[in-house]
Structure 1
Amino acid sequence: MSEQTGSGGLNEYIQHHLQQNTISLGGGAFHIDTWVVSLILGLVFITWFGFFARKASSGVPSKGQAFVELILEFIDGQVKDSFHGDRSSLTPLALTIFVWVVLMNGMDLLPLDLPGWVVKTTAGAEVAHHTYFRWVPTADLNTTLALSTTVFFLILYHSVKAKGGLGFGKELLTAPFHAHSTGAKIALAPANLGLNVIEYLVKPVSLAMRLFGNMYGGELVFMLIAGLLGGGLLMFVPGVIFNAAWALFHILIVLLQAFIFMILTVVYIAGAYESH
């Protein structure tokens, strides 16, 4: 960490750690780091919960099973408070979002220079200097937009499911400004459609930007603190203190942002079943 910081300054150190391993795909840059880490963490979640689901017993649960059941009961309770319909599909969705986002956010608590140290140890310092790896998927806007876009389509699906295609289309044209005469309905239809489109689009954008902004900002703070650790013996002790303090505080951010993303998803889907 200190070697990279000292060789080119804090700015170069931060720029280095903001680089992604990319390939060209469909005319754009495909972020391999984000995809690989997200996939691995998703498989970790499936394996972890699947293991204890298969091993579940009616007797005294093991600590691992009790922990999984605690998470599941917590999520189901939150869904039950916000959604009063059939929770058989919504609780698994909320559980997946919460645990997966927690795991992705939690990557921010790992040492920034661990990938570089591994490469340096195995392949040498020169190779390590040109090796990039960002392992916080939610600090990549592509990840949060992908998650929120999926939520957006789920909201549309549940809206059509609850009101039917014609009912949903009618609501887009007649709410929130209601009218009784046919002429007034036609006149207000463009305004209603515009407001509803904006409302539906704001939901995924706000979900994506909130999660991305918090995790990207947290990542930058860790990089700035790493600059203190690389600034010599005088700054090493304050850097360690700041890093420990921020890491403890960041645990709250990791959990809170996952919870907010999950609960807003549930609230938005619950709203799809309500009439304007």
Structure 2
Amino acid sequence: MSATESSQPANAVEYMQHHLTDWCVGCNPHTHQTSSIIDFHAFFVDSWLMALLLAILIGFVAWRIGKNLDPDHPTGMQNLLETMVEFVNNQVRDVFTSRPNPLIGPLALTIFVWVFLMNFIDLIPVDLIPTIVTWIGHHIFGVEGPVYFRAVPTANLGAPFGMALTVFALVIFYNLKIKGPVGYLKMFLFHPFGPYLIPVNIVMTLIEEIAKPLSLALRLFGNMFAGELVFMLIALLVLTHSETLSWSLLGWYPLQMLVGLGWSIFHILVITLQSFIFMVLTIVYLGMAHNSDH
């Protein structure tokens, strides 16, 4: 959701660049960018920090609910958690034809809640968290110059790819465990066109396997990055007129609030849908890995 005032650069281009720049360790100190799309020397502190804080929050809430479980008089949070668990278990049962792996349900629930909360940060006023971090950096740690902080982890390509590659590693692990090394190799050699087109089978299966983490990561990243840009553009409705049309801001503030509210309501559907898709695709990919006939 857009903020009405910002302590960030007043120029629209600088404003966008500032909000799209990560707190990165190992990036170019002048451009604050990585040397390439894949750079293992770069560490995005802001994405890691926000994801870690949300993971701690999830663990704490789950611990509190588990500590106070009451089957006879369930609280609101317990009812919500039980509803979510039942919903996820239904998705798992729909995919797994046999008895599902006991890891899949908790993994899917964790993914759904964690991704949803990371996406939900996008609904916080776009300038609020960066302004707080800037204030802390300048007044507590004595940092000079601009402080960069992107609060939405899933709007950074690294976080969705990290989760997608973790899921992909589990897919490979269970393929090897269920099918065995020979069975997994046969999948590349004889699927989908049989034993007479082995080179084509290898290429097609490789593309199919590589598409799994790509589909997980890029779909989530693209939607959240686009949503982040829209919120910045909404914030610029006031920012770009704040110097020259100070009295007319009384007209721009209601417009900004109206547009921001409308996009926020729509974005709630987007962040929920993206969390659901990431969870369901994880279940589907792991279900395919558990299918010894594939």
Change (3 A) 1:119 1:156: closer
1:24 paired residue among 12, 23, 26: 26
Give SS of 2:186's match.
helix
Change (3 A) 1:158 1:119: closer
| Over 6 Å off, 4+ runs | 126-129
Q: Does 1:101 align with 2:115?
A: yes
Contact 1:119 1:127 in 2 (8 A): no
* 2:202 corresponds to: 193
Aligned identity (percent) is 39
Following the alignment from structure 2 to structure 1, what is the Cα–Cα distance between the partners of residues 146 and 172?
44
Following the alignment from structure 1 to structure 2, what is the Cα–Cα distance between the partners of residues 120 and 162?
50
1:191 Cα deviation after fit:
1.6
The equivalences for 1:163-202 within 5 A come to 163-179=179-195, 184=196, 188-202=197-211
* 1:135 corresponds to: 151
Q: Deviations over 1:64-121 (max 9, x none)?
A: 2111111111111111112233241100010010000001001101111113433566
1:128 Cα deviation after fit:
8.8
Q: Deviations over 1:27-62 (max 9, x none)?
A: 622100000111111111111112212322221211
Contact 1:19 1:132 in 2 (8 A): yes
Give SS of 2:26's match.
strand
Give SS of 2:100's match.
coil
State which drifts further: 132-141 or 68-77: 68-77
Q: How many residues align?
A: 267
1:229 Cα deviation after fit:
2.6
* 1:64 corresponds to: 77
Give SS of 2:42's match.
strand
Q: Does 1:12 align with 2:14?
A: yes
Structure 1: runs of 5 or more not aligned: none
Q: Deviations over 1:95-151 (max 9, x none)?
A: 010000001001101111113433566647x96971111110000000011111111
Following the alignment from structure 1 to structure 2, what is the Cα–Cα distance between the partners of residues 148 and 16?
27
Following the alignment from structure 1 to structure 2, what is the Cα–Cα distance between the partners of residues 93 and 117?
34
Paired amino acid for 2:157: L
Following the alignment from structure 1 to structure 2, what is the Cα–Cα distance between the partners of residues 118 and 52?
30
* 2:219 corresponds to: 210
Contact 2:116 2:271 in 1 (8 A): yes
Following the alignment from structure 1 to structure 2, what is the Cα–Cα distance between the partners of residues 213 and 9?
25
Contact 2:91 2:280 in 1 (8 A): yes
Larger % of helix: which? 1
2:258 paired residue among 241, 244, 248: 241
Contact 2:93 2:100 in 1 (8 A): no
Change (3 A) 1:206 1:120: closer
Structure 2: runs of 5 or more not aligned: 28-38, 243-248
State which drifts further: 149-158 or 110-119: 110-119
Give SS of 1:111's match.
coil
Q: Does 1:223 align with 2:232?
A: yes
Question: What is the RMSD computed on CA atoms of the aligned residues?
Answer: 2.2
* 2:278 corresponds to: 261
Q: Deviations over 1:217-247 (max 9, x none)?
A: 0000000000013234142221111011111
Q: TM-score, normalised by structure 2?
A: 0.84
